[in-house]
Amino acid sequence: MKKVVIAIDGPAAAGKSTVSKAVAKKLGYTYIDTGAMYRAFTEYCLRKGVDCQNEGACVALIPEVEITLYPDGKVMCSGKDVTREIREPRVSGNVSYIASYKDIRLAMVDLQRKMAEKVSVVMDGRDIGTYVLPNADVKIFQIASVEERAKRRYLENQEKGIPCTYEEIVADVEKRDRIDSSRAFAPLKPAEDSIELDTSKLTIEESVQAVLDIIKEKVGI
Ligand code: CDP
Q: For every one of its 221 residues, what pLDDT tens digit does the chain have, with 9 covering 90 and above?
A: 789 999 999 999 999 999 999 999 999 999 999 999 999 999 999 999 999 999 999 999 999 999 999 999 999 999 999 999 999 999 999 999 999 999 999 999 999 999 999 999 999 999 999 999 999 999 999 999 999 999 999 999 999 999 999 999 999 999 999 999 999 999 999 999 999 999 999 999 999 999 999 999 999 87
Please report the pLDDT score of residue 125 as a whole number.
98
CB 84: neighbour CB atoms within 10 A? 12
Spatial contact of 29 and 119, defined as CB atoms under 8 Å apart: yes
CA pair distance 188, 181, nearest whole angstrom: 5
Q: Tell which atom from ligand 1 comes closest to the C-alpha of 179.
A: 16
CA of 154 to the centre of ligand 1 (A): 17
CA pair distance 200, 133, nearest whole angstrom: 26
Protein residue closest via CA to atom 6 of ligand 1: 35
CA of 1 to the centre of ligand 1 (A): 31
Please report the pLDDT score of residue 160 as a whole number.
92
Contacts of the segment 187-191: beta carbons below 8 A, 24+ positions apart: 187/126, 187/127, 188/9, 188/10, 188/11, 188/126, 188/127, 189/130, 190/9, 190/129, 190/130, 190/141, 191/7, 191/9, 191/129, 191/130, 191/134, 191/139, 191/141
Q: Tell which atom from ligand 1 comes closest to the C-alpha of 132.
A: 23
CATH architecture of 5-211: 3-Layer(aba) Sandwich (3.40)
Please report the pLDDT score of residue 178 as a whole number.
98
Per DSSP bridges, beta strands 5-9 and 121-125 are parallel
Protein residue closest via CA to atom 15 of ligand 1: 96
Residues with CB under 6 A from ligand 1: 12-13, 17, 34-35, 38-39, 95-96, 99, 125-128, 176, 180
CA of 107 to the centre of ligand 1 (A): 15
Please report the pLDDT score of residue 1 as a whole number.
77
CA pair distance 86, 123, nearest whole angstrom: 18
CA of 5 to the centre of ligand 1 (A): 19
Protein residue closest via CA to atom 18 of ligand 1: 35
Protein residue closest via CA to atom 16 of ligand 1: 96
Please state the domain extents for the chain.
5-211
CB 219: neighbour CB atoms within 10 A? 13
Q: Tell which atom from ligand 1 comes closest to the C-alpha of 36.
A: 8
Please report the pLDDT score of residue 221 as a whole number.
79
Buried b or exposed e, range 20-51, using 16+ CB within 10 angstroms = bbbbbeebebbbbbbbbbbbbbbbbbbeeebe
CA of 96 to the centre of ligand 1 (A): 7
Please report the pLDDT score of residue 90 as a whole number.
96
DSSP letter for each residue of the chain: ----EEEEE-STTSSHHHHHHHHHHHHTPEEEEHHHHHHHHHHHHHHTT--TT-HHHHHTTGGG--EEE-TTS-EEETTEE-TTGGGSHHHHHHHHHHTT-HHHHHHHHHHHHHHTSSS-EEEEESSIIIII-TT-SEEEEEE--HHHHHHHHHHHHHHHT----HHHHHHHHHHHHHHHHH-SSS-S---TT-EEEE-TT--HHHHHHHHHHHHHHHH--
Q: Tell which atom from ligand 1 comes closest to the C-alpha of 14.
A: 3
Q: Tell which atom from ligand 1 comes closest to the C-alpha of 99.
A: 20
